[in-house]
Structure 1
Amino acid sequence: MKYQVVPVSAYRTNCALLWCTQSNRAALIDPGGDPELLMQAIEAQGVTLERILLTHGHIDHVGAAMVLADRLGVPVEGPHRDDQFLLEMLPEEARTYGFPMVEAFTPGRYLEEGDRIQVGNLTLEVLHTPGHTPGHLVFHNPQAGIAFVGDLIFAGSVGRTDFEGGNRRDLLHSITTKLWPLGADTEFVPGHGPNSTIARERRLNPYVADNLLQG
């Protein structure tokens, strides 16, 4: 597996283009804006996009999803159905946060805990990780030891829970019961900012380090 992170929109959301090196089949995770930039990345890598995957329903993660889906004829999959209310609020979010207008939409397929997604010969495992939003998801590739975690956790921080549907207790539970078991060596690509590892965050994260949660 290879991947390229393309920061998009004024919020610098980490949109991840990942692909199977054997088949050159690809998926795009969280295309939050700048569809032309993402098209250029797809073309530059010479890959064939099969699907668009969404970790959650906030506009900075889904803003270009339908534009690209319509243009490339690929399905949008995710988030979990519990985030549909956020997808219905996209026009309001666009006005509030200064995004180009985004229409409400329903994905071609909601995703749930335990689903498996094929990208060429790669398999992504789906984890339902509520907290930042009720329908938040993580996509994990165990063979590569990497997870795409959206706004669940960041290097040195965690996702906000003060938006509609956010819940801090759920967020901490998702991190400790869904993310930590993936293993200390697992690297993650967050929705914003640099990559990190589970080991590093369990040691140093000022919100979820082991010594804090066990104290």
Structure 2
Amino acid sequence: MSQSPPPIGVAVVPVTPLQQNCTIVWCRKTMKAAIIDPGASVDGLLATVAKQGLTLDAIWITHGHLDHAGGAAEMQEKTGLEIIGPHEADQFWIEKIPMQGQLYGMPDVRSFTPTRWLADGDTVTLGETTWEVLHCPGHTPGHVIFFNREARFAQVGDVLFQGSIGRTDFPMSDHGALLNAITTKLWPLGDDVTFIPGHGPHSTFGAERRTNPYVSDAAMRQAPIARPASGPS
């Protein structure tokens, strides 16, 4: 018996000099799409949406760092769509986007006010699909992730990476909170969940529980817990 196709489609478009994984997700039944973390290259992202035959329906933001949210204001201006997320605790970072842009050679990026802030336990809909919102602070205080239970898929921003975790050397970062979010919010979703991180290749929660040197089950049994010396922003 053949398996039915997943209810969602996914495409990844790296943007900004930091090669952030801007992620386009869509409902296969309605072809309505959301762009998660349009850090830059807005015209190119909109062209990708059109090439896929999709109707862009929303802009979702995991957290307020430049490479994830720097293009949101321009995208809203060009599409008239709502900006949904992150959690309100990241307003501090969103307000700093223009300053971040000067540091990274992206002078045209702008701050914005989300149409809707998100909180832990919220849901967002896309066509006939429903996505769960989990507040996962640590990398930033207002970081959220988007999880589609039916497809066993998550977009986790800079919370977790293949073989690493988010940096916590930024203002308002919290290393302990990040470890807690990964182990108490992500791991219970299931080892079979495939995730796309904010940078680098995709993985599964199960693979990271087995091999990730920072948050594997074996690493979490040891103390003190190491922090990444460097990593994606």
TM-score (normalised: structure 2)? 0.91
Q: Find the residue that maps to 1:7 and give its secondary structure.
A: strand
Write the distance in 1 (CA, Å) between the matches of 2:39 and 2:110: 13
**Is 1:34 aligned with 2:41?**
yes
CA offset digits 1:114-168 (Å, max 9, x no partner): 1111100011100000000000001000000000000000000000000111110
Residues 47-58 of structure 1 mapped to structure 2, 5 A cutoff: 47-58=54-65
Write the distance in 2 (CA, Å) between the matches of 1:173 and 1:63: 28
Write the distance in 2 (CA, Å) between the matches of 1:64 and 1:92: 14
Q: Please, which runs of 5 or more residues in structure 2 have no aligned partner?
A: 1-7, 223-233
Residues 22-101 of structure 1 mapped to structure 2, 5 A cutoff: 22-101=29-108
Query: Match for residue 131 of structure 1?
Result: 138
Equivalent of 1:189 in 196, 204, 212: 196
Residues 11-22 of structure 1 mapped to structure 2, 5 A cutoff: 11-22=18-29
- Check conservation: 2:71, 2:110, Cα contact below 8 A: no
- Check conservation: 2:134, 2:145, Cα contact below 8 A: yes
Q: Find the residue that maps to 2:35 and give its secondary structure.
A: strand
What is the number of equivalent residue pairs in this alignment?
215
**Is 1:158 aligned with 2:187?**
no
Query: Match for residue 207 of structure 1?
Result: 214
Tell me the CA shift for residue 63 of structure 1: 1.1
**Is 1:115 aligned with 2:122?**
yes
Tell me the CA shift for residue 104 of structure 1: 2.1
Query: Match for residue 154 of structure 2?
Result: 147
Write the distance in 1 (CA, Å) between the matches of 2:92 and 2:165: 23
- Check conservation: 2:70, 2:111, Cα contact below 8 A: no
The one-letter amino acid of 1:129's match is C
Query: Match for residue 205 of structure 2?
Result: 198
The one-letter amino acid of 1:183's match is G
Write the distance in 1 (CA, Å) between the matches of 2:148 and 2:78: 27
Tell me the CA shift for residue 45 of structure 1: 0.7
Q: Find the residue that maps to 2:200 and give its secondary structure.
A: coil
The one-letter amino acid of 1:73's match is G
Tell me the CA shift for residue 66 of structure 1: 1.2
The one-letter amino acid of 1:6's match is V
C-alpha root-mean-square deviation of aligned residues, in Å? 0.8
Tell me the CA shift for residue 70 of structure 1: 1.2
CA offset digits 1:63-117 (Å, max 9, x no partner): 1111111111100010000000111111111111211322222111100111111
**Is 1:173 aligned with 2:180?**
yes
CA offset digits 1:179-207 (Å, max 9, x no partner): 00010100100000000001100000010
**Is 1:104 aligned with 2:111?**
yes
The one-letter amino acid of 1:44's match is K
Identity of aligned residues (%): 48
Runs of 4+ in 1 over 4 A off after TM superposition: none
**Is 1:4 aligned with 2:11?**
yes
